[in-house]
Amino acid sequence: MNEPARRPSADNPIRETDDDARALARQLMADAQFAAVAVLELETGMPLVSRVAVAVEADGSPFVLASDLSGHSRALARDGRASLLFGEPGPKGDPLTHPRVTVIGRIEKLERGDPQHAARRDFWLKKHPKSKLYVDFGDFHFWRMKVERANLNGGFGKAYELTAEDLRQAGA
């Protein structure tokens, strides 16, 4: 242990969750225009990563807009297990020192008949105005993650394990 403050031990590399960690994770999610999503590929079970546009409900549940034709939608229709990576580095510096959070859970398709569809669509279009070109295409649906837990990396060696409750906005 040459740098104990910056480099937690191999035995316990996870730091204790505090309010700063919770606030950082929420901010990374709220700020994100897009995320990387990992799913289990339909035909093979391989872990498949792709990009999705994203928004986050007040209770901390991320949701995405995706075409039924996409590989991740076809995978999620059979097996909702997934994770989402939020927090994009800028163009400079070591990308591994930029904070990011992996949110883990199950993603379910939301039908247009959902009573919240109109409100969700409005919320989405405020964040992603360009998607009005395709938000109403018949093959596009919203999909929402039921969050189970999250891994926050606040920069090199600053790792935290968060609960779904940790990601909830105050008052939600």
Contact between 126 and its own copies by CB under 8 A: the answer reads no
State the Cα–Cα distance between residues 26 and 111, nearest whole angstrom. Answer: 27
Q: For residue 31, what are the CA distances in angstroms to 56, 88, 143, 158, 169?
A: 9, 10, 19, 20, 13
Q: Any contact of residue 34 with its own copies (CB under 8 A)?
A: yes
As a residue count, the chain comes to: 172
Candidates 20-28, 46-54, 55-63, 111-119: pick the segment binding its own copies (CB under 8 A). 46-54
Determine, following the binding rule CB under 8 A, whether residue 6 of this chain makes contact with its own copies: no
Burial class (CB in 10 A: 0-12, 13-18, 19+), 166: buried
Q: What is the CA radius of gyration of the chain?
A: 17
User: Rule CB under 8 A: is residue 100 a binding residue for its own copies?
Assistant: yes
Q: What is the DSSP letter of 121?
A: H
Does residue 164 touch its own copies according to CB under 8 A? no
Binds its own copies by CB under 8 A, chosen from 15, 17, 27, 38: 38
The answer to the question of residue 71 lying near its own copies (CB under 8 A) is: yes
For tokens 């919770």, what's the residue?
22
Residue range at the interface with its own copies (CB under 8 A); choices 15-23, 28-36, 115-123, 164-172: 28-36
When the beta carbons of 22 and 101 are compared against its own copies, the nearer one is 101
Q: Is 123 in the site for its own copies (CB under 8 A)?
A: no
Degrees to nearest 5, angle at CA 65 with 101 and 29: 20
Contacting positions for its own copies (CB under 8 A):
10, 13, 33-34, 36-41, 46-53, 69, 71, 81-85, 88-89, 93-96, 100, 102, 104, 128, 130-131, 134, 139, 151, 153, 156
